[in-house]
Amino acid sequence: MKNIMVNILTVSLMLTLTACQKELGYTGFVDQDAVSQASVSLATDKAVYNPGETVTFTANSIPSGAIYVRYRHLDAVLEDNVTLSGNTWNWTVPDEDFKGYMAEVYQRTAEGENILATIAVDVSSDWSRFPRYGFLSTFTEMSAEACDDVISGLSRMHINGVQFQDWHWKHHWPLAQDKSTMAPLDTYIDIASRTTKMETVRNYISSIHSRGMKAIFYNLCFGALDDAAEDGVKEEWYLFKDTGHQTRDVHELGAPFKSSIYLVNPGNSQWQDYLGERNDDVYENLGFDGYQIDQLGSRGTLYDYDGNAVDIAEGYASFISAMKDRHPGKDLVMNAVSSYGAQQILGTGKTEFAYNEVWDSESQFSHLKQIIESNEQYGRAGVKTVFAAYMNYDKADNIGTFNTPGVLLTDAVIFALGGSHLEMGEHMLGKEYFPNNNLGMTTELEDAIIVYYDFMTAYQNLLRDGGTFNDVTVTSADGKMSLKNWEPQTGNVVTLGKEFEDCQVIHFLNFSQANSTSWRDKDGSMPEPVTISDAAVNVQLPAGKTVKSVWMASPDIEYGAVREFQVMQNGNSLSVTLPSLKYWDMLVICYEN
């Protein structure tokens, strides 16, 4: 299969301009059918920036004539009418931390403005505030340039943390070492009998750090291979299915895996010391920034060597605390498989964000909102949620391509809810075994996913930075949309409200042609929605509120650029005509103080 991320960079980051619709009360943009269309792709030199840092932008090409750039935070214009004279330019970001920005490249015509391209900029000194998690899964011999190409693709989507999945030698001894000298091995065999090169791991880490991203190594919290006794793992540390320590709990694996995985008690202090020492070697020899801790979900009732029933979820909390005490400067993330142990994991306050691997028991779009809200109750204030949500799971058993409508609708819902989606690495993710790359991305999906990640990043202060979910009464003024408040229902446009102190956000999510309310789209059959054009809606406002401004943005229109409306308020009602709705529109109503 082709390397998707390299392909995005070296073959095409071109985004085809989509014809825009004119709408009632909207000013400032031209009808794109009336202007010549161009393809412009943008990139930044890093995935994330510190306050006051300088961003270097590059464009694949700039059309002839006068071309300008403006910089926005949400709808506020920070700088405008900046003339571009070449394909590379700089911008010094404001000093304020934890803000998202959008750069809009445009040209003027007699009829208005033509948006040529946009790109987001994240200014955040701590990646856990707005985590956008990616992955790596193959570490064969690669040049530094090849590694850098892959990371450049992830950086273009503003991925700020990268999980190294199945990079390790053994679960109970992650760093491959010569046991006589303890020197790292240059080449070793991983759990799936694949060849791994230590130099490739190092090259990836170096490239990640050069773009301001975090490199996080993966491992189970309780895994031991069949040769673990030779490496010092004690029989007394294991988890057993019986009170007489006769049958160890095991995750069975066949060929090509070199061993099944036997489960150790994560709360056993001696095991914690043992694996902590192994992690000492990892950090001493490789520049990882933290540890992605994995589990296997509920295992039923298990026992320790002495026949005592083990509270495994509490063991997770103990394990996290032990790892943090040993390396307080390193970041920890732990998987809550089907939400198992989420309360105990987040209750430690020692993980960077919530990480939920979701399966059939949480397969509905409505479950995603419930998980985010539960995580916020379990964890520290403002904790964010990353979903490991495997798209087109059954389809990924065979060679093919991801179903674009299924992916984009799921991302639209996750991003609107304030979550993010672990899905992008050397390829898009379709299975829990991350190296599986049976499904490729269509050109349409490659182009769209970049815009969706720009959108999530540029508008992160509305999508992921506070606010309270609320119900807003929105009605159709022309019958073009069948509207329903959250939760999703097929045949409807679903509205999701979020209230802030000075504004109301309303997300419009298009389930009009959806064949399911499950995010999984396991067989890749989610149909493409029909675009709804020039749909007039009325929004009921809180009593006594005066609207100051109204604007919208959509990853499906003008690359996510802001579109401003004339205020059309009549008492407690606001009238707006949405220019178009494909998958997701975000409407923002700002109030007078």
Q: How many CB atoms lie within 10 A of CB 525?
A: 13
Instruction: State the pLDDT at residue 96.
Output: 98
Instruction: State the pLDDT at residue 575.
Output: 97
For 61, half-sphere exposure in the C-beta direction (CA atoms, 13 angstrom radius) is 10
Instruction: State the pLDDT at residue 39.
Output: 75
Cα distance between residue 266 and residue 10, in whole Å: 44
Q: Which residues of the chain have pLDDT under 70?
A: 1-38
Which helix (H) or strand (E) element contains residue 463?
helix 460-463
Extract the tokens encoding 422.
């672990």
Assigned CATH for 468-591: 2.60.40.1180
What DSSP designation does 349 have?
S
Residue keyed to tokens 């005066």: 546
> 215, 209 in Cβ contact below 8 A?
yes
Give the per-residue SS3 of 272-306.
Answer: HHHHHHHHHHHHHHCCCCEEEEECCCCCCCCECCC
The one-letter amino acid code at 66 reads: A
Cα distance between residue 522 and residue 500, in whole Å: 36
Burial state string for 338-364 with b = 16 or more CB within 10 A and e = fewer than 16:
bbbbbbbbbbbebbbbbbbbbbeebbb
Concatenating the DSSP letter of every residue in 294-340 gives: E--S---S-B-TTS-B--HHHHHHHHHHHHHHH-TTSEEEEEEETTT
Cα distance between residue 525 and residue 582, in whole Å: 17
What DSSP designation does 117 have?
E
Instruction: Please provide the size of the chain in residues.
Output: 593
Instruction: State the pLDDT at residue 37.
Output: 40
> 161, 214 in Cβ contact below 8 A?
yes
Give the gyration radius of the chain's Cα atoms: 25
Residues 6+ apart with CB under 8 A from 51: 93, 94, 95, 96, 97, 123, 125
Residue keyed to tokens 């993330």: 333
Domain assignments of the chain as residue spans, ordered by start: 4-123, 127-219+283-296+312-388, 468-591
> 444, 15 in Cβ contact below 8 A?
no
Q: Check if 127-219+283-296+312-388 and 468-591 are the same fold.
A: no
Residue keyed to tokens 């391509």: 401
> 439, 393 in Cβ contact below 8 A?
no
Would you identify the CATH topology of the domain 127-219+283-296+312-388? Answer: TIM Barrel (3.20.20)
Extract the tokens encoding 127.
């990646």
Distance linking the first and last C-alpha atoms of the chain: 55
Cα distance between residue 45 and residue 153, in whole Å: 11
Q: How many CB atoms lie within 10 A of CB 181?
A: 7
Query: Do β-strands 161-164 and 214-220 pair in parallel, antiparallel, or remain unpaired?
Result: parallel
> 92, 79 in Cβ contact below 8 A?
no
CATH 2.60.40.10 for domain 4-123: yes
Cα distance between residue 114 and residue 117, in whole Å: 9
> 387, 421 in Cβ contact below 8 A?
yes
Instruction: State the pLDDT at residue 129.
Output: 98
Cα distance between residue 27 and residue 433, in whole Å: 49
Cα distance between residue 84 and residue 59, in whole Å: 10
Q: How far is CA 113 from the centre of its chain?
A: 32
Q: For the chain, how long is the longest CA-to-CA vector?
A: 84
Extract the tokens encoding 189.
């065999």
